[in-house]
Amino acid sequence: MSETAAAPGSAVSSLPRVTLVLGGARSGKSRYAETLIARAARRATYVATATVEDSEMAERIRHHRERRAAGTLAWETVEAPRDLAGALEELARPDRPVLVDCLTLWLSNALLAEADLAAETAGLLRSLADVAGPVVLVANEVGFGIVPDNALARRFRDAAGRLNQEIAALADRVVLVAAGLPLVLKEPSI
């Protein structure tokens, strides 16, 4: 058996098909999602949705890359700031989990590109419903804050809330992370 093949009963097979990890900014959600995958596999694919627009975002991306490089898991990084559904269709396989970080940035990219958010979300949901291997998705929970003072921010907040609800309904496991602590909201049926 090759190094990346998953034997029946292996740790990779213990990951649910779709896991959604939600949390606020700097809540520990990405670290938690990385840990889930590191416990289950030796190799994984990291699908990055961020684009470098300024030095602050460049620093965040550098920090995430360094943290992944310091671990024992071998990560392949694929950038998919817009075609997330296509990336999942191409990359997901039973022996190699995929981590998407993050859905919120993907949504922001689609919104700024003036894409049809309903069509983009429907395509993503179709890809997730048919995914060949375990996928862990990270997303910001933006509904805990104040109502934004401008129309674009309110549209984004509402779209993010709807996206999170739709992904959570499809997901086998949903975890909310606050202050680095996971709270399981939904578990797979046994």
pLDDT of residue 172: 96
What are 161-181's pLDDT values in tens digits?
999 999 999 999 999 999 999
Sheet containing strand 135-140, strands side by side: 74-79, 43-48, 98-101, 135-140, 18-23, 173-178, 181-186
What are 79-130's pLDDT values in tens digits?
999 999 999 999 988 889 999 999 999 999 999 999 999 999 999 999 999 9
Give the architecture (CATH level 2) of 13-186: 3-Layer(aba) Sandwich (3.40)
pLDDT of residue 3: 35
Residue 55 above 90 pLDDT? no
What percentage of the chain reaches a pLDDT higher than 90? 66
Catalytic residues, which ones?
64
Residues 36 and 28: their CA atoms lie apart, in Å, by: 12
Q: What is the average pLDDT across 129-153?
A: 92
Residues 93 and 10: their CA atoms lie apart, in Å, by: 14
pLDDT of residue 49: 93
The structure tokens 């990336």 sit at 87
Residues 108 and 21: their CA atoms lie apart, in Å, by: 18
CB atoms within 10 A of CB 62: 11
When comparing pLDDT for 135 and 144, which is higher? 135
Residues 71 and 106: their CA atoms lie apart, in Å, by: 25
- Mean residue pLDDT across the chain: 88
pLDDT of residue 10: 55
pLDDT of residue 68: 66
pLDDT of residue 173: 97
pLDDT of residue 11: 65
pLDDT of residue 4: 36
Domain boundaries, the chain: 13-186
